[in-house]
Amino acid sequence: MKVVKLNVLAGFIVLQSVFGLLFSQVNENLITNIPNRQTTSLNGMWKYVVDPYETGYYDYRRQIRDQKDRPDPSEAFFLGHKAQNRSERVEYDFDKSENIMVPRDWNSQKENLLYYEGSVWYYKKFLYNKKSDQTRQFVYFGAANYEADVYLNGTKLGKHIGGFTPFNYEVSELLVEGENFLILKVDNSRGLEKVPTINTDWWNYGGITRDVDLVEVPETFIRDYYLQLTPDNKELIDVRIELDGPSKANQLVKVNIPKARISFSGKTDENGIVTGTIKAKKLEYWHPESPVLFDVVLTHKGDTLNDRIGFRTLAVKGTDILVNNKPVFLRGISIHEENPIRGGRAYSAEDAQMLLGWAKELGCNFVRLAHYPHNEHMVRLADELGLMVWSEVPVYWTIQWENPDTYKNAEIQLMEMITRDKNRASVIIWSMANETPVSEVRTAFLKNMIDATKAVDPVRLISAALERHAKPGARNVQAIEDPLQEYVDVISFNQYLGWYSSSNDRLKDVVFEINYNKPVIVSEFGAGALQGLHGTREDIWTEEYQEYLYEETLKMIDKIPQLRGVTPWILTDFRSPRRLLPDVQEGWNRKGLISETGNKKKAFHILKKYYDQKKTDFAD
């Protein structure tokens, strides 16, 4: 068992906990595979109160109201109190407040909240009737950006930090027969110590942005499981199943995969965990050209859990990425979790169909889900469509590398992402970061993230979007000299030659210096273009300029011997407060190949043609 430490010593972060415990400590309460459990949706209309001074959370002495023995019900919003008589003073009223849709961000729903950053209280009444005394109930949130304080019937359930990963709380003892109410204080304020930090290039959508479900399970139930091919033996499936409940020790658990005619059974240890292997000879493997998924059935007494899982091997051999021992070229595109046509954060199965449908139309077999974990609909649909996935945590640009709380936050978000998606065949790369400046403490921070990832998921590949720079004294040489290259499986870097530096006409002379014998992905390149704005290829912001940049960039990067994938920036235009040019940007990053109206720009067809050729040159 490896040992990991987390301390700040002489400017370096070193790890300090046991890897075997890390996964369970971080995710000990997280339930996986919510889509296939018995749930009651709490989506729909909620009431909301905007609270920029956090009056409902802090008193006038800046004391936290939910930490007091006797909070004042007239001002403590989490109590959801109603005046009991005509003379009682209560300074809020959820019933009289406006409605807001969940899941969705508040920015795109309410014009006056477009740029709002701060606290908003959410309130939902719902009816509950207990079906059996032998069940337990949990409230599950797909995500809420960024900090969420959660209360049920006036009792605090907990606080979750991180805007893109799931969390849940047991509410079995707090639910009452009949009417209940759920309250959240969601705060999307940016902060220097947070992950991501205060400075980004995307919209800070606030709110309960993903599904909310009341989950009902048996007293002892299957909380989590892992089924993946053994890294060094494609004829074995590694199995790990975890029970939760009063009778979790010495329990029989079964796995059945009917189509493959294979099964497994085993008894749990004192911690409710059973591990083992399943022989899987002549198993049909998941592949982008043939995304085979198996119906998997897990059972423990009366608890049955279904899933659809694909099995495939991943490896790096020299400069090749191997899927099922065959080299692949990753024909990719970067995607933000945004529905540009409706406006706002993408969250639904329909949103996933639109975004990934465009990627398939482009000729992609790979998508980079930037710059944070996307919703579960995306990775589950990618399984079905045969799209390989790069999944990333929001360690973005410059964060507080020497702050141990910042590291802990980043690692928890990483573990929550892996916990949710570790059984998805489509996910082939965990990305640790994007465009982070090189320093010793930063490299130590990311190295620890890599070690933690490999400890809990030995199957998938590790990467990070690095940066390039012009090599001094060599006019046309672009170098990637980041020390993180030593630790990742796949070297990835962003480059914007022809946009932020140099010119399109000079790209033909550029060469890249990469001194590692590893596969390379160009994880970003692109140029802004306003759809429908036309001119010559020298006229910036035109579709012709963007088209020409794509033509020259693809020729340039094709000369990289190790090139095994491309994820240009980006599929669609997306909102960003950094982009302010009147008549062109208007608060939108215009590097998309598709506009916010759903219209394809000329560069879309250039990339599609390139990918059509790659299918011939580098058949999957």
Q: Count of domains in the chain?
A: 3
Whether 452 contacts 426, CB under 8 Å:
no
Q: Which of 166, 197, 218 is the last residue of a domain?
A: 218
10 found inside a domain = no
* 353 and 468 inside one domain: yes
Which structural domain, as residue segments, surrounds residue 273? 221-300
* 200 and 237 inside one domain: no
Residues in Cβ contact with 79 at an 8 Å cutoff, skipping those fewer than 6 apart: 71, 73, 154
377 found inside a domain = yes
Mean pLDDT of 216-221: 96
410 found inside a domain = yes
Q: Which of 170, 195, 218 is the last residue of a domain?
A: 218
* 212 and 228 inside one domain: no
56 found inside a domain = yes
pLDDT band at 615 (very low <50, low <70, confident <90, very high): confident
* 457 and 566 inside one domain: yes
Q: Which of 199, 218, 237 is the last residue of a domain?
A: 218
Predicted confidence at residue 102, as pLDDT, reads 98
Pull the structure tokens for residue 606: 């250039």
Predicted confidence at residue 127, as pLDDT, reads 96
The percent of residues above 90 in pLDDT, for the chain, comes to 90
603 found inside a domain = yes
Pull the structure tokens for residue 315: 């490896």
Pull the structure tokens for residue 261: 């005619």
171-174 long-range Cβ contacts below 8 angstroms, 24+ apart: 171/137, 171/138, 171/139, 171/214, 172/135, 172/136, 172/137, 172/138
Predicted confidence at residue 327, as pLDDT, reads 96
* 110 and 170 inside one domain: yes
Residue 6, pLDDT above cutoff 60: no
- Parallel/antiparallel/unpaired status of strands 427-434 and 320-323: unpaired
Predicted confidence at residue 302, as pLDDT, reads 78
36 found inside a domain = yes
- pLDDT tens digit sequence for 25-69: 345 689 999 999 999 999 999 999 999 999 999 999 999 999 999
* 285 and 392 inside one domain: no
Residue 260, pLDDT above cutoff 90: yes
- The CATH number of whichever domain residue 274 belongs to comes to 2.60.40
Whether 424 contacts 483, CB under 8 Å:
no
Lowest mean pLDDT across 413-417, 532-536, 595-599, 612-616: 612-616
Predicted confidence at residue 281, as pLDDT, reads 85
The DSSP 8-state label assigned to residue 106 in this structure reads S
How far apart are alpha carbons 22 and 2 in whole angstroms? Answer: 11
Predicted confidence at residue 44, as pLDDT, reads 98
Pull the structure tokens for residue 142: 């797909």
Lowest mean pLDDT across 278-287, 445-454, 588-597: 278-287
* 227 and 212 inside one domain: no
pLDDT band at 619 (very low <50, low <70, confident <90, very high): low
- pLDDT tens digit sequence for 115-174: 999 999 999 999 999 877 889 999 999 999 999 999 999 999 999 999 999 999 999 999
- The CATH number of whichever domain residue 411 belongs to comes to 3.20.20.80
Return mean pLDDT, the chain. 93
Residue 18, pLDDT above cutoff 70: no
Residue 546, pLDDT above cutoff 60: yes
307 found inside a domain = no
Pull the structure tokens for residue 51: 């609270």
How far apart are alpha carbons 400 and 273 in whole angstroms? Answer: 36
Predicted confidence at residue 492, as pLDDT, reads 98
* 296 and 333 inside one domain: no
Tokens 């290829």 belong to which residue?
537
Mean pLDDT of 190-213: 97
Residue 17, pLDDT above cutoff 60: no
* 118 and 248 inside one domain: no
* 445 and 582 inside one domain: yes
How far apart are alpha carbons 547 and 534 in whole angstroms? Answer: 11
How far apart are alpha carbons 179 and 127 in whole angstroms? Answer: 5
310 found inside a domain = no
Q: How far is CA 228 from the centre of its chain?
A: 20
Task: Kindly report the pTM of this predicted structure.
Answer: 0.94
Predicted confidence at residue 618, as pLDDT, reads 62
Lowest mean pLDDT across 88-102, 125-139, 488-502: 125-139
Predicted confidence at residue 282, as pLDDT, reads 85
Sign of the alpha-carbon dihedral angle for 346, 352, 357, 363: positive
* 604 and 469 inside one domain: yes
* 460 and 346 inside one domain: yes
Predicted confidence at residue 8, as pLDDT, reads 34
How far apart are alpha carbons 597 and 604 in whole angstroms? Answer: 15
pLDDT band at 312 (very low <50, low <70, confident <90, very high): very high
